[in-house]
Amino acid sequence: MAVNIYDTANTLEQQLRETKEFKELKASYDAMKTNKSAFDLFKDFQEIQMQLSQKQMNGEELTDDEVQKAHDLADKVGNVDEIKALMGKERNLNQLMNDLNQIITKPVQELYRD
């Protein structure tokens, strides 16, 4: 019997949406969006992170100004309750995803143990 692993992945995707961790993350994100200044700051923080990651992946050096701007923005983000709550929920979902990844990759891990 052939296994369509993509069907399994699509089922997992739907089940992930029903987990406590995802629902709490979504509720936290929706709550943060109601605070315009928090939401704008969060979006700015995401943009800076993406830009710096892209530069690093391209092998480009980060300037001192870029690093300082990222640190300053991170400090501001860390002082906003709605964003702190969101990041806590994000950590919880990330832990679940890491657990799932360990389960999914178990056959490969076992293969290389021999």
The span from the CA of 59 to the CA of 69, in Å, is 20
Q: What is the pLDDT of residues 58-99, one digit of tens each?
A: 999 989 998 899 999 999 999 999 999 999 999 999 999 999
The per-residue pLDDT of the chain, averaged, comes to 94
> Residue 62 carries which DSSP code?
P
The span from the CA of 85 to the CA of 13, in Å, is 24
What pLDDT is stored for residue 114 in this prediction? 76
Supply the pTM of this predicted model: 0.84
The span from the CA of 101 to the CA of 87, in Å, is 20
Taking phi over 0 as left and psi of -120 to 50 as alpha, with beta for the rest, 35 belongs to: beta
Residue 89 · residue 25 · CB < 8 Å: yes
